[in-house]
Amino acid sequence: MEIILYIVCFLIPLLFNYKFYGFNGSTFLLFIYFIGTLCALYVAFFTTMFDSDRLSIYAVTYHLVCLFLLLFPIVNFGNKLKGYRLDDATLKVFTFVIIFFSFMSLFLYLPDVIEVFKMGLSQARVAFYMGTLKAESDGLLEYLKLPGKGLSLVAPFFLFYYIVNYPEKKLLIYLLLISSMVDVLFTLTNAGRGGLIRWAFVMIYFYLTFKNEINSKLKKYITSSLTILGVAFFSIFMITTVGRFSDREHSILDYILSYAGQPYIYFSYQFFDFFDITSYGTRIFKIFSSDVDDTYYLDMVTGQLDYGTNTFSTLAGDFYKDLGFYFTFLLCLFHFILYLFVYKTNVFNRLKVFKITLFSIMLCIVLNGYFYYQYSSASDTKIFLLVLFFSLFIPVFEKTIVNMQKRN
């Protein structure tokens, strides 16, 4: 019954969105969350990997409410992206800012990436977990990397915006494509592949959003590139999965499906155990707290459990383990109200760059948050705030220059 509720509640909006908007970016987002419900149904009731008796209708209902408070703003605004237009002057200034800072970050990350490949990815990953992969770095250089890492999250929208509206500006399109890959290089400095997967998901989202406005020749090229990339991802995933699970109790297929299905199962596992607030934002919003004692209650709770907590339960589940029942709901509700205030009122009508920047950040969080909240480091939180400041400041800066030129 509990898993069926997940299936129905994601199938209905998926079909509704497909009927009115086709298989666009928003439909893709809902499709990802829907497919997981089918995987959850299989692993919960047709394998012995999980205890289906621990599924709770209260947990599922609460989980669905939180997820829809997070998903609805992205789906709703995503359906309107095709008609979104930016002022030419602001577009030029912000594009320059994205490219400049993104390339700065790329050049600063490049030496570390080269060292990782010299060492070998598997050996570098072991060194990363042991804390011996990187030497102590210069604080100033680390701060110089932050703006580009954040602005690269906005680059995919600008990339497809130029492809659709200014296809003749090939140099800018290539520069924006490269700018969008800062997160890929960052995760490679830790011998990780998460950045590549996050980048691919966001690129697929924006391609599906704008595909009907891209000329047929370029669309064919992009489709072929994404297909090749998808096959490469799947091949790498299968190789690592077979190597990891070939000698385990269950079949390899069961383990693959458990990855996709467990976010809907483990949320019920943790629902009552983490009902109260545990670490007061220390885990997911490190910028607000750095006190080691803040994790005491979290450690005490996890130490008494009969299941592991290093599991997937969606971004809402990650919030829940940290903030508990009430504050998780308030956080999701704040996200929903923020959307209504920014996108449904006239207050921010002139701040179009800010609106698209905020949307791009929230898209990355929610689209890549099916398994867990992937932006919990202190630097990520600072990056989001910094990029939003940039997006507010750039139009004001550009308007000031225009006014000065008029006076002269």
DSSP 28-40: HHHHHHHHHHHHH
pLDDT value at residue 160: 94
Between CA 336 and CA 69 the distance in angstroms is 5
pLDDT value at residue 291: 47
pLDDT value at residue 68: 97
Half-sphere exposure of 21 (CA within 13 A, CB side): 25
Q: What pLDDT digit, counting tens, does each position of 296-343 carry? A: 677 777 777 777 777 899 999 999 988 899 999 999 999 999 999 999
- CA dihedral (207, 209, 211, 214) positive or negative: negative
pLDDT value at residue 310: 79
- Enter the tokens of residue 205: 């989202």
Q: Which residues of 174-192 are buried (b: 16+ CB within 10 A; e: fewer)?
A: ebbebbbbbbbbbbbbbbb
First to last CA, the chain: 71
Between CA 199 and CA 312 the distance in angstroms is 20
CA 65 from centre of chain: 20
**Kind and range of the H or E run holding 241:** helix 216-245
pLDDT tens, per residue, the chain with 408 residues: 789 999 999 999 999 999 999 999 999 999 999 999 999 999 999 888 888 889 999 999 999 999 999 999 999 999 999 888 888 888 888 999 999 999 999 998 888 888 877 777 667 766 766 666 665 555 677 778 888 988 999 999 999 999 999 989 989 999 999 999 998 888 888 777 778 888 989 999 999 999 999 888 888 887 887 778 777 766 766 665 665 556 667 777 788 888 889 999 999 999 998 888 777 777 777 655 444 445 667 777 777 777 777 789 999 999 998 889 999 999 999 999 999 999 988 878 888 889 999 999 999 999 999 999 988 877 788 888 888 988 887 766 666 655 655 665
- By C-alpha distance, which of 14, 25, 48 is closest to 248? 48
How many helices and strands (H and E) does the chain possess? Answer: 16, 0
Residue appearing with tokens 């109260």: 276
pLDDT value at residue 398: 62
Taking a C-beta distance cutoff of 8 angstroms, is the pair 41, 3 a contact? yes
- Enter the tokens of residue 291: 């006190």
